[in-house]
Amino acid sequence: NKDLFVLTYGALVAQLCKDYEKDEDVNQYLDKMGYGIGTRLVEDFLARSCVGRCHSYSEIIDIIAQVAFKMYLGITPSVTCNNSSKNEFSLILEKNPLVEFVEELPAGRSSLCYCNLLCGIIRGALEMVHLAADVTFLQDRLKGDSVTEIGITFLKKRDEKKYRGKK
Amino acid sequence: MAVCIAVIAKENYPLYIRSTPTENELKFHYMVHTSLDVVDEKISAMGKALVDQRELYLGLLYPTEDYKVYGYVTNSKVKFVMVVDSSNTALRDNEIRSMFRKLHNSYTDVMCNPFYNPGDRIQAFDNMVTSMMIQVC
């Protein structure tokens, strides 16, 4: 049952908003927490999903979208590739279960990335399989955009032989 | 047509109150305030034995010459009070019940919002309440 999880996440964000004045601080802490979760979650994910070795960044993103998101949040975002060198991707979430009960961002918090935890999780998980990535929110429904879009940019091109990207 | 809708907290202060005829708002505020006594009377009249079977919908609290006042109380002692035009005889009990149910659902949605502190004034009701005030005409 997802309600408890969604309400817990909401309480977490509300508490962080009370503790820190600036939106950037809240976003940063959400990202840090997500990073901690991601480094641990990836082990659970790899154990449960038994995905094979990936050979390209787009395969990795497909697995994140179709297997990982499905497993942990019950949704399947769609994937688009943003540039021709194939290292920038976007995950587009039509429906985001984490913001189910949130009407809108509170006044004065307009640059709060409510789901920044997700960015941290993805970043942490990728780092544990030796892939450095930059993960941010490109669009956010809570800020008025039509969909929620997470942008993932892979930073260093790893040598193919050392490619242990199993995620 | 509902002319006034109010949500009253457990401590008997209003969380949300809105009325359509914008003149004479004070009269509606006063009516809602006096109806709180009737609500308390109804709640306590149920008695301890019947607490399990107590219904949330309280029904007609009291009629005046122009208006009728209906009440609904939740298990957390949050009260919803609705003032309806007496001239609209087509409004049946079932319709009032469904309006209260909608109000209750919206109230739970507001409570689930992590940025809402229980006890604050409610801002998010306006759309739903406007539709309720126009629709039941």
A125-158: per-residue pLDDT in tens? 999 988 889 999 999 888 888 889 999 998 875 5
| CA–CA gap between residue B60 and residue A94 (Å, rounded) | 44
Pick the residue of A103, A112, A117 with the most B CBs within 10 A to test the interface with B by mutation: A103
Predicted pLDDT of residue A32: 94
Residues from chain B that touch A106, judged by Cβ atoms under 8 A, are 115
Predicted pLDDT of residue A160: 46
Residue A162 pLDDT exceeds 50: no
Predicted pLDDT of residue B99: 87
Predicted pLDDT of residue A161: 42
Pick the residue of B115, B116, B121, B123 with the most A CBs within 10 A to test the interface with A by mutation: B115
Give pLDDT tens digits for A4-28: 999 999 999 999 999 998 889 999 9
Could you tell me the pTM of the whole model? Answer: 0.79
Residue A87 pLDDT exceeds 70: yes
Is A101 within 8 Å of B109 when comparing Cβ atoms? yes
Distance of CA A96 to the CA centre of its chain: 11
Chain A nearest C-alpha distance from B114 (Å)? 5
Predicted pLDDT of residue A158: 53
**Residue of A137, A148, A123 lying closest to A33 (CA atoms):** A123
H or E element, residue B85:
strand B79-85
| CA–CA gap between residue A40 and residue A45 (Å, rounded) | 9
Residue A33 pLDDT exceeds 90: yes
Mean of pLDDT over chain A = 86
| CA–CA gap between residue B73 and residue A58 (Å, rounded) | 55
Chain B nearest C-alpha distance from A41 (Å)? 25
Is B113 within 8 Å of A11 when comparing Cβ atoms? no
Chain B nearest C-alpha distance from A37 (Å)? 21
CB B85 within 8 A of CB B67: yes
A1-154 CATH = 3.30.1380.20
- Going by DSSP bridges, is the β-strand pair A148-154/A88-93 parallel, antiparallel, or unpaired? antiparallel
Is B112 within 8 Å of A7 when comparing Cβ atoms? yes
Which residue of B lies nearest to A10 if distances are taken between CA atoms? B114
Q: Is the dihedral of CA A129, A133, A139, A140 positive or negative?
A: positive
Which residue of A lies nearest to B117 if distances are taken between CA atoms? A14
Residue type, B65: E
Is B115 within 8 Å of A11 when comparing Cβ atoms? no
Q: Name the residue ranges covered by the structural domains of chain A.
A: 1-154
Classify the complex by whether its ipTM is higher than 0.85, answering yes or no: no
Chain A contacts to B (CB-CB under 8 A) = 7, 9-11, 13-14, 17, 101-103, 105-106
Is B124 within 8 Å of A102 when comparing Cβ atoms? no
How confident is the prediction along chain B (137 residues), in pLDDT tens digits per residue?
678 888 998 888 888 888 886 677 888 888 888 899 888 888 887 655 445 555 788 888 888 878 888 899 888 888 999 888 877 666 788 888 888 888 898 888 888 888 888 877 777 778 788 877 766 44
CB B84 within 8 A of CB B2: yes
Give pLDDT tens digits for B85-107: 877 666 788 888 888 888 898 88
Predicted pLDDT of residue B51: 52
Chain A nearest C-alpha distance from B38 (Å)? 34
Which residue of A lies nearest to B111 if distances are taken between CA atoms? A101
Structure tokens at B13: 């202060």
* Residue in this structure with the two tokens 């109000």, named with its chain if needed: B103
Contacts of A111 (CB under 8 A, 6+ apart): A23, A24, A27
Chain B nearest C-alpha distance from A86 (Å)? 38
User: Percent of chain A scored above 70 by pLDDT?
Assistant: 93
Residues from chain A that touch B110, judged by Cβ atoms under 8 A, are 103
Residue A38 pLDDT exceeds 90: yes
Residue A37 pLDDT exceeds 90: yes
Q: Is the dihedral of CA A96, A97, A98, A100 positive or negative?
A: positive
| CA–CA gap between residue B131 and residue B137 (Å, rounded) | 11
Residue A34 pLDDT exceeds 80: yes
